Amino acid sequence: MQTKTLAASLLLLSAAPLALANDSHNDTALEEVVITATRISQNPLKSLNDVSIITRADIEKSNAQFLPELLQQSIGLETVSNGGVGSVGSLFTRGTNTNQTIILIDGVRLVSATTGTASYNHIPLNQIERIEVVRGASSSVYGADAIGGVVQIFTRKAENQPFGGDIGVKIGTEGQRGIDANLSGNTHGVSYQLSAGTERTDGGISATNTDYPFGHHPDEDGYQNQNVSGRLAYEWAEGQELSMRALRYKGEAQYDGGGSDPITWAPIARDDENYITHLTQFSIASKNRINEQLESNLQFSTSRDEGKSVTQGSTDYFIKSKDTRAQWTLSGQHKHIQWQTGAEWLKQNIDSDTDYVVDSRKNWAFFGAMNADYNRFLIESSLRQDRDSQYGHHTTGRLALGYQLTDALVGRISYGTAFRVPTFNELYYPYGGGNPLLKPEKSRSWEAGLKYHQSDFSVDWTVFQTQLEEMINGWPAQNINEATLVGTSLAASKQWQHFKLYSNVTYQDPRDDSNDKLLIQRARVFGNIGIDYQPHEKWSINTHLHVHGRSFADAANTTSLGGYGLLGMSVAYKPNQQWQLRLSGSNLLDKQYTTVRGYHTQGRSVVASGRYQF
């Protein structure tokens, strides 16, 4: 599909909800709030960030079976995978690299210090309550690596009753099956929530194809996942709460077709291998209301990302990354101003079968943020200073101005800076290729936009530009490039009787300035369109189309990865308040495509599921 044709089609699709809009509704927007953008609770209409929210209801209506499928339906996000379900994947926000977007789970960062990326593909959808996606420079709030933005995942919350829960089962094509359960309650100041599940698929596709350079092994590669998470909180007085949260996810993905010797890098042929990932997090927090205007939050957390490659029961290599943080914030409000200040301490450690020259580092940070809303004028500002034990001081900031033209329409403009510190692999990879002389990446970002939110109709339009300096590229890694990422995005939704029509499109030009070529694996245009239809209170139908334009597999833009469209659908039947039955399908047209040269992607998938609530 040609890029211009695709862009025109998506623009028309995104404009479809606009054609259904009318001026007969004066209700203001969304009752929900967004937290991630500035760490301060805001009405999404008045947030001066480019932000979107995926609710639990959205997840349940979606045909997505795994988190990468769900995220690619959000505006500005691209996902690519090295194989089928559970394989290593990347997440590009507005064309930035995958290690330039921060992933949070309930405020705790998920990251591997060796790669700088997060194994988000192992997070099960049944444990997610909502997702907030913030696009644009966010280092002034969250520190290093938030050049492209932040994705925060909130796990399931406790029910407002002494005891409740649900249990779900599913079975599908390619041997997919799973079971999960959630229990929660709230009584006498104690709230609790526990979720657990397991699922697996026997594959259906080979992880690699004939373009794989180390020898393709044509077989079916499967995936299995076990997961558990929980939260316990005690409100010992009004506005005074102690809480504890823990999670553990295990993902085991088969991959095949060979590899390379870890010492000489010479190609070697291999049969099936399993890559096993363990993600664990633990946090304890104290939230204390000091008075009507002030609130203190203190949190201590640890996060681990452990991976190992296993062949016929023998471990080939392993890598462990540990992130330990302590964070304190003080939040307040006075008339038209909300503010927050705080401090953070971080230590990262790594361990592997082969020692790194340096295996730990620390960071101290101080930050502050302010939101103002006065006489329709909106202001957001944030400032943060990080002191890295390897790279010294880094000061980042953001300033955004907005004006509420009507009760439902806001215009905004902003400027922000961000940075990313090199990963341990980029600096000290023990098998060769590391460069300890690397400098941090730095960015400057501008954006402007309009938001129009009503109860049954919304439009979000944004234009953006990010200038990236000291871009790390190549192997051995070098600070050799600069990049310019410009683009525009449009999202719209319209509720009309029993129908809801929603769509989004992103048109971007993420370009390496050194050779004037597009960054690899990123399309110039991509988007989504969907229809929710509820003809009866017991029935609901969702149809969704994801379209992605052509990208390139190499920096010289000589090897093309073709564009594709993925059609999905789900039908749900709820005979009563306790039961829900669902039939979902992804890639129903069985489109054959690839997002990374040498790797297959999942074909047609159909899953039947049932859930009982008690």
d(CA 219, CA 272) in angstroms, rounded, equals 9
Q: Answer yes or no: are the C-beta atoms of 508 and 487 closer than 8 Å.
A: yes
For 69-126, the pLDDT digits (tens) are: 999 999 999 999 888 888 888 999 999 999 999 999 999 999 999 999 999 999 999 9
Residue 446 has pLDDT above 70, yes or no: yes
Identify the domain containing residue 212 by its residue range.
Answer: 3-613
- The string of DSSP codes covering 155-214 is EPPPPSSSSEEEEEEEEEGGG-EEEEEEEEEEETTEEEEEEEEEEEE--SS-SB-TT-TT
For 451-475, the pLDDT digits (tens) are: 999 989 999 999 999 999 999 988 8
What proportions of the chain, in percent to the nearest 5, are helix, strand and coil?
Answer: 10, 60, 35
pLDDT for res 417:
98
3-class DSSP state of 80: strand
pTM: 0.92
Residues 6 or more apart in contact with residue 4 via CB below 8 angstroms: none
Q: Mean pLDDT in the chain?
A: 91
For the chain, percent of residues with pLDDT exceeding 70: 92
Q: Answer yes or no: are the C-beta atoms of 38 and 48 closer than 8 Å.
A: no
Residue 263 has pLDDT above 50, yes or no: no
The number of folded domains in the chain is 1
pLDDT confidence bin for 1, thresholds 50/70/90: very low
For 528-586, the pLDDT digits (tens) are: 999 999 999 999 999 999 999 999 999 999 999 999 999 999 999 999 999 999 999 99
Q: Answer yes or no: are the C-beta atoms of 440 and 391 closer than 8 Å.
A: yes
Residue 261 has pLDDT above 70, yes or no: no
Question: What CATH number did the domain enclosing 251 receive?
Answer: 2.40.170.20
Residues 6 or more apart in contact with residue 585 via CB below 8 angstroms: 63, 568, 569, 570, 604, 605, 606, 607
Distance from chain centroid for Cα 384: 23
